Amino acid sequence: MTNQQILFLDIDGTILTPDDRIEESTKEAVRQVKKRGIEVFLATGRPLHEIMEIGEELNVESFIGYNGAYAIHQGKDILIEPMDAEIVDSFFQIMRGKEHEAVLYTNGKNLLSSEKTGAIKDFAKHFHLKSTEAYHEKYSDEILGISLMNIGKEEVALYEEAGDLSLSPINVEGFKEHAYDVIRDKVNKGFAVQKVLDVLGLEKEQAIAFGDGMNDKEMLSLVGDGFAMGNAQPELFPYAKHKTTDVTNSGIFNGLKTLGLVE
């Protein structure tokens, strides 16, 4: 019997291909590991209210969302960590007078700093954001995650100086050069994975994870078998124990096959 008991899968660039599909090999891989009794979580920077259709397609009911700020195990909340309202407010002060834009996520809403720019419209369209409305400061203590757009590389430090956080480039074509997820030093995918393992009584050596972006580095570093996709950002590879093939070339299936978990 295999020692691996739980699998964490990033979505964009890991499960979803650039043309927004899930390969049949990925569906088959998830089916086979679930048949073995391995628990499967989707672990994403996306808001959870926007990914339930992906969960349904894969028959997965457990999720980590907002880059580690919220976790659900089979319909039951096991973690929720909103951002500090002062950091949220400071971001808007930094954005003032610039062309920077943001999508801020609560548990149920996608809040837009503006609806005027092409960048934010493209972002909402690509990531299928449905429950959107304009941001209001009354939500400042409910924010679970933030994505920033129109940010130059030389401007990243402006936001990172606002608190214990970093900006992680969004590894999706069309957004790589200017869009970033806000990753907190103490609340990230690795933090959430550890919380899940604690709740389920599992050791990190029993966990597997796949990812492609720098927002996956803490998760891949933590688990016993961390896989970087072949299409991953090159900076991610040192954080992963394994490298697999691209998302368009059965990356998840091939990685799990090396562990003897699919055939």
Q: What is the CATH number of the domain that holds 245?
A: 3.40.50.1000
Mean pLDDT of the chain: 94
Assigned domain for 120 exists:
yes
Between 2 and 28, where is the model more confident? 28
Give me the number of domains the chain comprises: 2
Per-residue pLDDT of 202-240, as tens digits, reads: 999 999 999 999 999 999 999 999 999 999 999 999 999
Task: Give yes or no: residues 101 and 114 share one domain.
Answer: yes
Same domain, 114 and 151: yes
Residues 154, 179, single domain; the answer is yes
Same domain, 177 and 92: yes
Q: Which of 161, 184, 207 is the last residue of a domain?
A: 184
Whether 22 and 31 have beta carbons less than 8 Å apart is answered as no
Is 222 domain-assigned?
yes
How far is it, in rounded angstroms, from Cα 201 to Cα 14? 26
Last residue of a domain, one of 143, 164, 184: 184
Residue at a domain's end among 152, 184, 216: 184
In a domain, 263, yes or no: no
* Pairwise CA distance, residues 25 & 250, whole Å: 6
Domain that holds residue 26: 6-81+187-258
Q: Long-range CB contacts (< 8 A, 24+ apart) of 249-253? A: 250/23, 250/25, 250/26, 251/14, 251/210, 251/227, 252/9, 252/14, 252/15, 252/25, 252/26, 252/29, 252/30, 252/210, 252/227, 253/23, 253/25, 253/26, 253/28, 253/29
Looking at the structure, do residues 203 and 163 belong to the same domain, yes or no? Answer: no
Contact by Cβ (8 Å): 2, 260: yes
Give tens-digit pLDDT for 103-128. Answer: 999 998 999 998 767 888 889 888 88
**Is residue 16 domain-shared with residue 42, that is, in the same domain?**
yes
Q: Are 156 and 209 found together in one domain?
A: no
**Mean pLDDT score, 241-262:** 98
Give yes or no for residue 1 having a pLDDT over 80. no
Q: Is residue 104 located within the same domain as residue 161?
A: yes
Return the structure tokens found at 42: 């989707």
- The answer to the question of residue 11 being in a domain is yes
Nearest Cα to Cα of residue 43 among 73, 18, 23:
73
Q: 4 and 203 in contact (C-beta within 8 Å)?
A: no
Query: Quick check: 26 and 257 in contact, CB under 8 A?
Result: no
pTM passes above 0.85: yes
User: Is residue 96 domain-resident?
Assistant: yes
CATH number at residue 125: 3.30.1240.10
Polymer length in residues for the chain? 263
Q: Alpha-carbon distance 91 to 189, whole Å?
A: 22
Q: What is the pLDDT of residues 36-70, one digit of tens each?
A: 999 999 999 999 988 999 999 999 999 999 999 99
